[in-house]
Amino acid sequence: MVELTDDTRREIGQHFVVGFHGYDVSPDIELLIRDYHVGNIILMKRNVKSAKQVHALVQKLQQIAKSAGHERPLMIGMDQENGLVSAFSVAHSNDAGTQFPGAMALAAAGSPDVAERITEASALELKLAGINWAYSPVGDVNSDPAKPCVRSFGDVPEEVSKYVTAVCRGLTKAGIAPSVKHFPGHGDTHIDSHIALPIISKDAASLAQNDLVPFRAASDAGVATIMVGHMALPAITGDTVPASLSHAVIGGLLRDSLGYGGVVVTDCLEMAARGPSLGHAGLRASGQRIAALKDAFAGGWEQVLGREFDEAGWARLKAAHVALSRQTYAASIALVRNPGAVVPLPKSGATVVLTPRMESLNRAVDDDDDDRQRPARKNTAGSSYMALAESVRKRVDGASVHVVYAPDEPLGGAELQDAASVLFVTRNADRSTWQLDRLRAVLRLGKRVVVLASYAPYDLLAAPPDIEGLCDVGYVASFEFTAGALDAAAAVIFGEEVAKGKVPVCGANVLPDWFP
């Protein structure tokens, strides 16, 4: 039993990362920092209105910590993977972080050097706002197409490793501590750990050949932190204790087998896969690792406090990064197949854009959607799909109509009957197979059709061979349904840009035998 002296309480507080609600300091978070010595904060999209506001918020949090006698400044982190998990980017706000491409889009663009450059750009924005920790990159190897979330760089361990280490370099160069996640790998799970506990049956040898490869590369490169995920590995632990709470996983696999000596952080303990409370073993040793992390990335109080927000510097970053983001999105769009040169679609004649009704398919992605946060103002189209419809409208000379399709509603009226071409957007149709039923109805109309897979590139793999006319459609993948990705996809679909991206997962490139 650890004696709870004041020094021990302060040591324990340094081992916690906590969040709160609101754009300003809440009484709860002030209490936790002041009285419970909590030494690390996570800011979510719910805390972000603008970069200047985040900077002011961070200054207040750091001042509370200094006044409470904290020896070192707070580590303040964000889920900033870019792409669909971008806590620092707020839809329709020019005052928050730039929306950059995420993992699979970067891998589709085909250059780890570009991934490093994009990441460094994003990290410079975080640093200017006072953030010093990013829960990124995702090191999961996406070996299972049924995985609930595609935020991986691909399904080849060695290729994933290249991008993981590139992102770590980009963050570190800008003074942001990376956190490679979700050790020992979420890529072979069928369950979202926000909802329940995934169980992975692999043994140590199988993990070493596939899932652990990117984490070993990151460890060898000296990455500052690694995040352990909530999944059970009974072949390793002999029980169903989550990896995030298992000495066999953290002490055995990560520390001993991989030789990792940096800071280990768990995934969020509010997730439904969580287990019992954390223990006190190794408190002093881990406290030394946390102190070293803070010295490297938070610095001293003189480097943290009393700094005005650099508005001119922010304006320069934003101006440069808009172009960089647009160029990279343009390089990421993949034309998977194009029978009969369906792509490009003509700009003349009526075009109908069909987008799926928004569903909550993954907590990490959907719970940050602005429209979903405000049910009274909820638009079933989703803000990104509305942006796509506007992007198409600006490109076509004929009429353009946006229709939201759903499993239990009519597909459309005269607009669809009169259309010359259709842009049919899917999102995870491999799981939400009702989207394929609606595609069947569209194909019966005999229109010129392009299918845009706006998230996972696997959508047509699940399509059965009885969908008449499917072999005649063009198939484009954007890898995320951010406005930037969808605008870049529209540019390819309407012939303004040539598709340059390559699908970074083998499964999506191997279409069914009946689908030539």
CA 112 to the chain's CA centroid: 17
As given in the structure block, the two tokens for residue 88 are 């620092």
Q: Where are the beta strands (DSSP E) in 170-281?
A: 179-183, 225-228, 263-266
- Contact in structure between 488 and 333 (CB atoms under 8 Å): yes
Residue type, 59: Q
Q: Which of 211, 267, 430, 459 is catalytic?
A: 267
For the chain, the farthest-separated pair of C-alpha atoms sits apart, in whole angstroms, at: 77
Examine the residue annotation and report whether 155 is marked as an active-site residue of this protein.
Answer: no
Residue 477 sits at φ, ψ, to 5 deg, of -120, 135
Order of strands, sheet of 351-356, starting from the edge strand that comes earlier in the sequence: 334-337, 474-477, 448-453, 421-426, 351-356, 400-405
Residue with tokens 């406090």: 305
C-alpha span between 355 and 367 (Å, rounded): 19
Residue with tokens 């597909």: 411
Q: At 395, is the secondary structure helix, strand, or coil?
A: helix
Q: At 85, is the secondary structure helix, strand, or coil?
A: strand
C-alpha span between 139 and 216 (Å, rounded): 10
As given in the structure block, the two tokens for residue 158 are 């060695």
| DSSP string for residues in 455-510 | S-TTGGGG--TT-TTGGGSEEEE-SS-SHHHHHHHHHHHTTSS------SSHHHHS
Long-range contacts of 303-308 (CB under 8 A, 24+ apart): 303/73, 304/62, 304/73, 304/130, 305/59, 305/62, 305/63, 305/66, 307/59, 307/130
Distances (CA, A) of 353 to 163, 396, 452, 498: 34, 12, 10, 21
> For the chain, give me the number of helices (H) and strands (E)?
20, 15
SS (H, E, C) 313-374: HHHHHHHHHHHHHHHHHHHHCEEEECHHHCCCCCCCCCEEEEEECCCCCCHHHHCCCHHHHC
Residues identified as active-site: 267
